[in-house]
Structure 1
Amino acid sequence: MNEITILTTLASVHFIALMSPGPDFALVVQNAARYGRQTGLYIALGLSFGILLHSILSLTGISYLVHQQPELFAGLQFVGGSYLAYLGYCALKGCWQAKNNLESHSKRESSTLLSNKRQAFSRGLSTNILNPKALVFFISLMSSLVPADMSLTGKGLALGILWGLSFVWFSLLAWALSTKHMQGKIKAMAFYIDGLCGLIFTIIGTSILWQSISELLLKV
């Protein structure tokens, strides 16, 4: 394949993956819907930089080396799974408190509250970079589609495409969820949105935790 074909295929596969429901998608939906456009955009920026970092590490072979070290990869899985499960716990705890009128759901303060740009960016970056499934995805994507002898210009364009598509997609999602029309509808559904996002984080996080613990036990 020539480089144009490679880059087109890379962009197509990555864009399909971006649209699939997962921690990144859930993070944007939950926070853009609740805290507004600016928070959603900074989360999108954090997520896209996490994807850029994964892409660079995969392209340089560092991610592959991590994946080939079972103990190191299992440790990364444990940390990443714990973080995602924690986000899920916080979201579900907030829903439970709101349901039981322990505090105002719309004004509660919790660890899921993102009160400034830095927190929103950090939440997006950490959610993506600590997701071991993202590491495996980009290893597979880069190793199968980007040949080792590809030009530096081509590799640079590949990184730019992965980052650009990620930022544009998550920014558009944040923008759409924070329009006045959508905000009116979302307020009535906020409890269910938080609950669904909490379930997504919890299920993915605990499955990653279970996988890491199982792999470690097999090696004992």
Structure 2
Amino acid sequence: MTGTEYLAFVGASLVLAVTPGPDTFLTLRFGARGFRAGVVYTLAVTVGIVAWAVLTLTGVAVLLETYPGLRVGITLVGGSYLVYLGVAALLPVIRRHRARRLQRAPRAAALVTAGGPAPATGEHDVGHLPAAPGDPVAPGVPTPGVRSGRSVFGTGLVSSLTNPKTGLFFLALLPPFLPASPDLLDRGLLVATVAAAIFVYGVLLSAVADRAGRFLTGGSGPDLVDLVSGTILVLLGLTIILL
């Protein structure tokens, strides 16, 4: 492989890294919770990408073209997993919202009993009532949990390995850049280049998400992150399944 060919491969690897997809969005979601979580997720995605690259170089990924049913099956698993992740993000938001309403209802009744102003729009409209001083989330309401590194890594690995489009991408990308009789060093250089591009981009994305996430960690910020990310994940998963 000449220097010009390698630079062309580096460019193709960067295109793969920056192309928006489920992994990009999930990196942003975990990165908004903390830089470390974003990096752990990125590391898992990188491992999955390397696995797809190795499968392609060993010829296993050809099965995805030879047997379309296998590709469809993996796609359905991957799309379903994204829907699961989206629903898992949305359900806690719903539970926390209900818990806040139930907790604020007695507070509203206490204000009325004490002669304070009654809710202006009915007994169910309690959104204007203040939370406890110094506590952005009222006491007793469950707060968004922090996922363990192992859980985040597992999520990244599964989401990456269940994306057959990655294998097909490598099937089209790698062979043209390999010499006629590639040795282990040639193959390793290509895989390492792709892995480095994915990992560096993911780390940078996590750093940006972490800084942005600091503005979304108070009050209803975590719920907003989970609500938006959960909805988009469900839509992405359904799109992958239906298309």
Aligned counterpart, 2:61: 63
Q: How far did 1:63 drift?
A: 1.0
Highest CA radius of gyration, 1 or 2?
2
* Cα distance in structure 1, aligned partners of 2:2 and 2:13: 16
- Give 1:114's aligned residue: 147
Alignment of 1:138 with 2:136, yes or no, is no
2:207 corresponds to 1:187: no
Q: Which moved more, 1:136-145 or 1:36-45?
A: 136-145
CA shift for structure 1 position 121: 1.4
- Contact 1:6/1:146 (CA < 8 Å) preserved in 2? no
Q: For residue 28 of structure 1, what is the aligned residue in structure 2?
A: 27
Distance 1:20 1:96 in 2: 32
Pick closer, same or farther for the CA change 1:40–1:57 going to 2, 3 Å. Answer: same
- More helix per residue: 1 or 2? 1
Alpha-carbon distance in 2 for matches of 1:46, 1:137: 19
Q: Distance in 2 between matches of 1:39 and 1:106?
A: 21
| Residue 9 of structure 2: aligned partner | 10
CA offset at residue 162 of structure 1? 0.8
Alpha carbons 2:86, 2:234 under 8 Å: kept: yes
Q: Separation in 2 of the partners of 1:157 and 1:102?
A: 53
Q: Does 1:196 align with 2:228?
A: yes
CA gap 1:135/1:95 in 2 versus in 1, 3 angstroms: farther
**Percent of residue pairs bearing the same amino acid type:** 28
Asked if structure 1 preserves the Cα contact closer than 8 Å seen for 2:31 and 2:213, the reply is no
Task: Give the number of equivalent residue pairs.
Answer: 202
Shift, 1:130, TM fit: 1.0
| Aligned equivalent of 1:178 | 210
The equivalent residue for 2:72 is: 74
CA contact (8 A) 1:23 1:200 kept: no
CA deviation string 1:20-40 (max 9, x = no partner): 221111111111212x12222
1:147 positional shift: 4.8
Range moving further from structure 2, 46-55 or 169-178: 169-178
Aligned-partner residue type, residue 9 of structure 2: L
Kept in 1, the 8 Å contact 2:54–2:191? The answer is: yes
2:13 touches 2:193 (CA, 8 Å); kept in 1? no
Following the alignment from structure 1 to structure 2, what is the Cα–Cα distance between the partners of residues 208 and 172? 26
1:41-83 CA deviation, whole Å, 9 max, x = no partner?
Answer: 1111101111111111111111112332122222211211111
Offset of residue 17 of structure 1: 2.6
What is the TM-score normalised by the length of structure 2?
0.72
- One-letter amino acid of the structure 2 residue matched with residue 107 of structure 1: T
